[in-house]
Chains A and B, each alone.
Chain A
Amino acid sequence: MKPNNNTISAFDPEIRQIEEEIVDFISKKGSEFTGKHPHVSMVMIYFYIRKRLTQRDLQALTGLSAGSVSKAIRQLIDMNMITKDIIAGTHTHIYSMEKIPFISPRFLLATGRYIGNIEEELKEMKKTLIENKERMKELEGYDRIYNTITRILGLIPLTEVFMRTLEKGLV
């Protein structure tokens, strides 16, 4: 993969200021309403805007330490929002967000697979609880664990409908 052109100096200073205002607003406000970690939000917004970045670019843009940037990147990879490549002829990694995740086939596929796995695991746990009901029902926590599993299983179809609505609205 080719190197990027996303250093701070690459953007016009006035546009860079607008970019900073956007990142600041979303990472602070968004975290208050969604519980998203501010560092994760901040790094994610830079990917939305600049698409391809190295860890060094992100350190310069965000002012975060190498460790914090690396942690946020790892989480975004786990969230299937960005991918990792190597810049040709170097040992430097470059991370990319090619599309808005909600319309990226890779994101939708990975998220769908994740939800499917969770559903299977929860069903299995519920089955174990039902099979062992007589031995467990008097134990502290049996009801709340059973009810939590049932509640999450009830939410999974809604999540799928929500994802499909987003995908349909964005494509």
Chain B
Amino acid sequence: MKIENFILCVTNIIDQMAQQKNPAQKLMDIENHLVEIITSMGKLKGRSDKMAKLAAYITIRGEVTQKSLREITGYSLGTVSSSLQILEKMGFVSKHKDSNSREYLYRYEESYTQSQSKSMMNVLEYLRELNEFLSQMEGKLNKPRLKGKEGYENVKEFIENMRRLFLVVEEALSKFSGQPKREVKTRDETKQ
């Protein structure tokens, strides 16, 4: 074989290999970009960078183990483990025993953003608890001796704004979840 033909042959093989590799690389780039987008969405919700990134990988991969998450992200066992605990509590993932290994599988809850999901119910429950808590705080604040004191107006306005905000959020979430909105009375209404 002439040297020119040999070079041509090698070049063709390299081209073919590059073409074969290209779609995989392209898909990996798309996945990385998708991780960036979902991470930024999580950070807009106030999540930490690490928690948002872990949630992004879980959203895309569907099912992960602590080990696989550590390998992909390079995060410590402590970070991965504590983040998974929070995500499980939120109803974002569910934990399952893997019959083939000793590891636990963490499965993304497809219903996370849907009505009647554990997460949606959790948030509604939290808003109810918060509303009750704010009523208690309002009671503490409404002592005659505190009226007009420094900071009184700030805290009063905050409680009023939050209760208003949570009622609207609760109503909006109820629309999505199909749950009836609970009748919430203000402290003054309760007295009447």
Contact = CB atoms under 8 A, between A and B. Distances in A.
Interface of A: 10-12, 14-16, 18-19, 21-22, 25-26, 29-37, 40-41, 44, 48-51, 75, 78-79, 100, 102, 111, 114, 118, 121-122, 125, 128-129, 132, 135-136, 139, 141-142, 144-145, 148-149, 152, 155, 158, 162, 165-166, 169-170
B60 A145 contact: yes
Contact of A15 (B44, B113, B155): B155
Interface stretch (B6-14, B47-55, B184-192): B47-55
Given A22-B155, A37-B46, 12 more contacts: A10-B151, A19-B154, A22-B159, A26-B130, A34-B123, A35-B51, A41-B46, A49-B154, A79-B43, A114-B44, A144-B60, A166-B165
Given A18-B137, A135-B23, A136-B27, A100 B150 contact: no
Contact of B150 (A12, A34, A166): A12
Interface residues of B, number: 63
Given A79-B46, A136-B27, A33 B155 contact: no
Nearest to B159: A22
* Interface residues of A, dominant DSSP: helix
Contacts of A21: 137
Contact of B31 (A37, A100, A141): A141
Contacts of A114: 44
B154 A50 contact: yes
B61 interface: yes
A30 B146 contact: no
Contacts of B140: 18
B59 A148 contact: yes
Nearest to B124: A33
B155 A49 contact: yes
